[in-house]
Amino acid sequence: MVDHNRQKKIAVINDFSGFGRCSIAVSLPIISAMGIQCCPLPTAMFSNHTGFESFYRVDFTGHMRQYMSEWDKLGLQFSGIATGFLGSEEQIEIVADFLQEFATDDTIVLIDPVMGDYGKLYPSYSEKLAMKMHRLIPYADILTPNLTEACILTKTEYREDITTEELRVLCDELARQCDNDKNIKIVISGLNRDRYLENFVYERDTEPQLVMTPKIGSNRSGTGDVFSSIIAGCAVRGMEFRESVWMASEFIGRCMKTTMEMGLPGTDGIAFEEHLFELR
């Protein structure tokens, strides 16, 4: 019998954008550069991401289950599974079925609950759809929400000046929604603190920590995808969680510096290609 599982693999469930450096187009090269096979399961295909004035989109929902079935026939086993933007309640149910079928006790599941930013849901998301994201939280070994998403999932009023103690309370509530048998790891990412970006790093029954890096330039498309991809790769490698957050933050900072030097438009994401060799 052919064995397809001689190399570590991460399944990435997200949309694919041909231009703009986000989602699968980011995860595929980053995870590959880390020496791990990246196996994408697309939720939709975009010519370029939705931050542009115009784009072409093909919904992949109707193909996802048959796509999964072929992976099942191959007997694929995954060291990690990472989820990103999901555009409908049906897609969330499909992902839940995927996790039940392919996640084992040895699989690290990273849920990036991509739903909004700056205190608001994305235009394509409704309150009902956002609440459906709770369906996936119990599967998570790692959660990577931004502050907006953490507030949505805990029904907490959004405030940019949230305190460290309030961040701990948010994470405590998120942890209660997870499987109690797991040492859940949570990072609330991209907190704006004057001249710094702060990541709040939380592990169940462990003192939370802050990872701070200098702020470089303005927010850009795809930085969250870069961040979560590196976290997933580091977890599969066995790296300590706080160290992986530090590595991802530092990498993004270096990429941002290069991007600013190149003068790339904000819609075009960050020039991570110049730094991929650093992830090996």
Which pLDDT score, from 0 to 100, does residue 215 have? 86
121 assigned to some structural domain: yes
- Residue-wise pLDDT tens digits, 75-107: 999 999 999 999 999 999 999 999 999 999 999
Q: Give 2's pLDDT tier (boundaries 50, 70, 90).
A: confident
Is 202 exposed, middle or buried (CB count within 10 Å of its CB: 0-12, 13-18, 19+)?
buried
Query: Nearest Cα to 231, choosing from 118, 125, 81, 100?
Result: 81
Q: Answer whether residue 246 shows pLDDT above 90.
A: yes
Q: Answer whether residue 218 shows pLDDT above 90.
A: no
Q: Answer whether residue 1 shows pLDDT above 80.
A: no
Which pLDDT score, from 0 to 100, does residue 210 have? 93
Q: Where is average pLDDT lowest: 9-13, 116-120, 237-241?
A: 116-120
- Mean pLDDT of the residues in the chain: 94
Percent of the chain with pLDDT over 70: 100
- Residue-wise pLDDT tens digits, 27-58: 999 999 999 999 999 999 999 999 999 999 99
Q: Answer whether residue 14 shows pLDDT above 90.
A: yes
CA distance linking residue 62 with residue 59, whole number of Å: 8
Which pLDDT score, from 0 to 100, does residue 252 have? 95
CATH code of the domain covering residue 196: 3.40.1190.20
- Residue-wise pLDDT tens digits, 134-185: 999 999 999 999 999 999 999 999 998 899 999 999 999 999 998 777 899 9
Range of the domain at 29: 9-269
231 assigned to some structural domain: yes
277 assigned to some structural domain: no
CA distance linking residue 204 with residue 252, whole number of Å: 26
Average pLDDT estimate for 197-211? 92
279 assigned to some structural domain: no
119 assigned to some structural domain: yes
255 assigned to some structural domain: yes
CA distance linking residue 70 with residue 214, whole number of Å: 45
Q: How many domains does the chain have?
A: 1
Q: Which two tokens stand for residue 230?
A: 């590196």
4 assigned to some structural domain: no
Which pLDDT score, from 0 to 100, does residue 123 have? 86
Which pLDDT score, from 0 to 100, does residue 205 have? 81
280 assigned to some structural domain: no
What pTM does this model have? 0.96
Average pLDDT estimate for 117-144? 93
Which pLDDT score, from 0 to 100, does residue 81 have? 98
